[in-house]
Protein backbone atom coordinates (compact mmCIF):
# COMPACT_ATOMS: atom_id res chain seq x y z
CA UNK A 1 0.00 0.00 0.00
CA UNK A 2 2.85 2.41 0.83
CA UNK A 3 4.43 1.67 -2.53
CA UNK A 4 1.22 2.49 -4.41
CA UNK A 5 0.79 5.75 -2.48
CA UNK A 6 4.42 6.66 -3.14
CA UNK A 7 4.03 6.04 -6.86
CA UNK A 8 0.81 8.08 -6.95
CA UNK A 9 2.44 10.95 -5.04
CA UNK A 10 5.48 11.03 -7.34
CA UNK A 11 3.24 10.83 -10.43
CA UNK A 12 1.06 13.67 -9.16
CA UNK A 13 4.10 15.85 -8.48
CA UNK A 14 5.56 15.15 -11.91
CA UNK A 15 2.28 15.83 -13.70
CA UNK A 16 1.64 18.93 -11.61
CA UNK A 17 5.05 20.33 -12.53
CA UNK A 18 4.62 19.47 -16.20
CA UNK A 19 1.07 20.76 -16.48
CA UNK A 20 1.29 23.86 -14.26
CA UNK A 21 1.28 26.73 -16.76
CA UNK A 22 2.84 30.10 -16.15
CA UNK A 23 -0.53 31.63 -17.10
CA UNK A 24 -3.84 31.03 -15.37
CA UNK A 25 -6.41 30.08 -17.96
CA UNK A 26 -10.15 30.50 -18.07
CA UNK A 27 -13.36 28.72 -18.54
CA UNK A 28 -13.43 26.16 -15.83
CA UNK A 29 -16.55 24.19 -15.10
CA UNK A 30 -19.46 25.66 -13.23
CA UNK A 31 -21.36 22.88 -11.52
CA UNK A 32 -24.07 24.80 -9.65
CA UNK A 33 -25.48 28.16 -10.63
CA UNK A 34 -23.30 30.74 -12.24
CA UNK A 35 -23.48 32.34 -15.65
CA UNK A 36 -25.25 30.60 -18.52
CA UNK A 37 -22.63 29.04 -20.80
CA UNK A 38 -23.69 31.18 -23.78
CA UNK A 39 -22.83 34.36 -21.82
CA UNK A 40 -19.49 33.18 -20.41
CA UNK A 41 -16.52 35.04 -21.87
CA UNK A 42 -12.94 33.78 -21.92
CA UNK A 43 -10.09 35.42 -20.07
CA UNK A 44 -6.50 34.87 -19.03
CA UNK A 45 -4.68 36.00 -15.90
CA UNK A 46 -0.94 36.39 -15.66
CA UNK A 47 -0.72 35.17 -12.07
CA UNK A 48 -4.21 34.58 -10.72
CA UNK A 49 -3.07 34.69 -7.08
CA UNK A 50 -4.70 36.69 -4.30
CA UNK A 51 -3.00 39.81 -2.98
CA UNK A 52 -0.52 40.10 -5.89
CA UNK A 53 -0.09 42.40 -8.87
CA UNK A 54 -1.58 40.90 -12.01
CA UNK A 55 -2.56 41.43 -15.63
CA UNK A 56 -5.95 40.42 -17.06
CA UNK A 57 -6.70 39.64 -20.70
CA UNK A 58 -10.49 39.83 -21.15
CA UNK A 59 -11.60 38.41 -24.48
CA UNK A 60 -14.74 39.14 -26.48
CA UNK A 61 -15.19 36.91 -29.55
CA UNK A 62 -16.25 38.43 -32.86
CA UNK A 63 -19.51 36.43 -32.83
CA UNK A 64 -20.61 38.41 -29.73
CA UNK A 65 -19.90 41.80 -31.32
CA UNK A 66 -22.98 42.30 -33.49
CA UNK A 67 -22.78 46.10 -33.37
CA UNK A 68 -20.07 48.72 -33.51
CA UNK A 69 -18.76 49.65 -30.06
CA UNK A 70 -18.51 53.23 -28.75
CA UNK A 71 -17.88 52.36 -25.12
CA UNK A 72 -17.20 49.38 -22.83
CA UNK A 73 -18.55 49.17 -19.30
CA UNK A 74 -17.13 46.50 -17.03
CA UNK A 75 -18.74 45.98 -13.64
CA UNK A 76 -17.50 43.72 -10.87
CA UNK A 77 -18.87 42.56 -7.49
CA UNK A 78 -18.62 44.54 -4.26
CA UNK A 79 -16.57 41.78 -2.60
CA UNK A 80 -13.75 42.28 -5.13
CA UNK A 81 -11.46 44.58 -3.16
CA UNK A 82 -8.71 44.80 -5.76
CA UNK A 83 -7.53 47.94 -7.53
CA UNK A 84 -7.11 48.96 -11.16
CA UNK A 85 -4.80 51.45 -12.86
CA UNK A 86 -6.86 53.28 -15.48
CA UNK A 87 -3.61 54.43 -17.16
CA UNK A 88 -2.71 50.79 -17.83
CA UNK A 89 -5.76 49.74 -19.84
CA UNK A 90 -5.53 48.88 -23.52
CA UNK A 91 -7.87 47.47 -26.15
CA UNK A 92 -6.85 45.16 -28.96
CA UNK A 93 -8.98 44.53 -32.03
CA UNK A 94 -7.96 41.51 -34.09
CA UNK A 95 -4.61 41.53 -32.20
CA UNK A 96 -3.91 45.20 -33.06
CA UNK A 97 -3.78 47.72 -30.21
CA UNK A 98 -6.16 50.59 -30.84
CA UNK A 99 -6.09 54.10 -29.44
CA UNK A 100 -8.44 54.82 -26.59
CA UNK A 101 -9.79 58.25 -25.83
CA UNK A 102 -10.21 57.57 -22.13
CA UNK A 103 -10.33 54.81 -19.52
CA UNK A 104 -11.93 55.48 -16.16
CA UNK A 105 -12.10 53.44 -12.98
CA UNK A 106 -14.93 54.30 -10.57
CA UNK A 107 -14.29 52.25 -7.39
CA UNK A 108 -17.43 53.51 -5.63
CA UNK A 109 -19.68 52.11 -8.36
CA UNK A 110 -17.35 49.16 -9.14
CA UNK A 111 -17.15 50.24 -12.78
CA UNK A 112 -14.47 50.49 -15.47
CA UNK A 113 -15.39 52.55 -18.53
CA UNK A 114 -13.35 52.46 -21.72
CA UNK A 115 -13.87 54.87 -24.61
CA UNK A 116 -12.13 53.93 -27.88
CA UNK A 117 -11.01 56.88 -30.01
CA UNK A 118 -12.94 55.50 -33.01
CA UNK A 119 -15.95 53.14 -32.91
CA UNK A 120 -14.87 49.50 -33.09
CA UNK A 121 -16.55 47.79 -36.06
CA UNK A 122 -18.86 44.83 -35.53
CA UNK A 123 -17.68 41.22 -35.94
CA UNK A 124 -14.15 41.82 -34.65
CA UNK A 125 -12.29 39.88 -31.95
CA UNK A 126 -11.67 42.21 -29.03
CA UNK A 127 -9.34 41.86 -26.09
CA UNK A 128 -9.28 44.25 -23.15
CA UNK A 129 -5.97 44.21 -21.28
CA UNK A 130 -5.94 45.44 -17.68
CA UNK A 131 -2.36 45.80 -16.43
CA UNK A 132 -1.11 46.68 -12.96
CA UNK A 133 -4.16 45.17 -11.28
CA UNK A 134 -3.87 44.64 -7.53
CA UNK A 135 -5.76 41.39 -6.93
CA UNK A 136 -8.09 41.17 -3.92
CA UNK A 137 -6.65 40.11 -0.58
CA UNK A 138 -8.60 36.85 -0.68
CA UNK A 139 -9.23 34.65 -3.68
CA UNK A 140 -12.57 33.54 -5.03
CA UNK A 141 -14.83 33.64 -8.07
CA UNK A 142 -15.59 37.12 -9.39
CA UNK A 143 -18.12 37.91 -12.12
CA UNK A 144 -16.96 40.78 -14.34
CA UNK A 145 -19.88 41.84 -16.55
CA UNK A 146 -19.34 43.43 -19.95
CA UNK A 147 -21.75 45.92 -21.46
CA UNK A 148 -21.30 48.05 -24.56
CA UNK A 149 -22.76 51.28 -25.86
CA UNK A 150 -23.37 51.29 -29.60
CA UNK A 151 -23.72 54.17 -32.10
CA UNK A 152 -27.30 54.85 -33.06
CA UNK A 153 -28.52 52.23 -30.62
CA UNK A 154 -30.47 52.62 -27.43
CA UNK A 155 -28.77 54.87 -24.87
CA UNK A 156 -28.68 52.03 -22.35
CA UNK A 157 -25.61 49.76 -22.37
CA UNK A 158 -26.21 46.31 -23.86
CA UNK A 159 -25.04 43.20 -22.01
CA UNK A 160 -22.49 41.07 -23.93
CA UNK A 161 -21.42 38.52 -21.36
CA UNK A 162 -19.51 37.77 -18.17
CA UNK A 163 -15.94 36.83 -17.37
CA UNK A 164 -15.98 34.49 -14.35
CA UNK A 165 -12.54 35.19 -12.89
CA UNK A 166 -11.05 32.60 -10.57
CA UNK A 167 -8.35 33.94 -8.27
CA UNK A 168 -6.57 31.53 -5.93
CA distance 18 to 12: 10
| Strands 53-60 and 43-45, sheet pairing | antiparallel
Contacts of 53 (CB under 8 A, 6+ apart): 47, 132, 133, 134, 135
List per-residue pLDDT tens for the chain, 168 residues long: 555 445 445 555 444 443 333 344 445 555 556 789 999 999 999 999 999 999 999 999 999 999 999 999 999 999 999 999 999 999 999 999 999 999 999 999 999 999 999 999 999 999 999 999 999 999 999 999 999 999 987 778 999 999 999 999
* pTM across the whole model: 0.82
Query: Contact 64/160 with Cβ under 8 angstroms?
Result: yes
**Terminal Cα distance for the chain, rounded:** 33
The separation between CA 4 and the C-alpha centre of its own chain, rounded to angstroms, equals 41
10 by DSSP, 3-state: which?
helix
Amino acid sequence: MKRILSVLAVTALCLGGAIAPSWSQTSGWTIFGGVERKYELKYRLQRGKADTWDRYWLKIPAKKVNWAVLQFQITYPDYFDGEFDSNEIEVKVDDETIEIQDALWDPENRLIEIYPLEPIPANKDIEIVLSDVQNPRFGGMFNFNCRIVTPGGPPLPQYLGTWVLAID
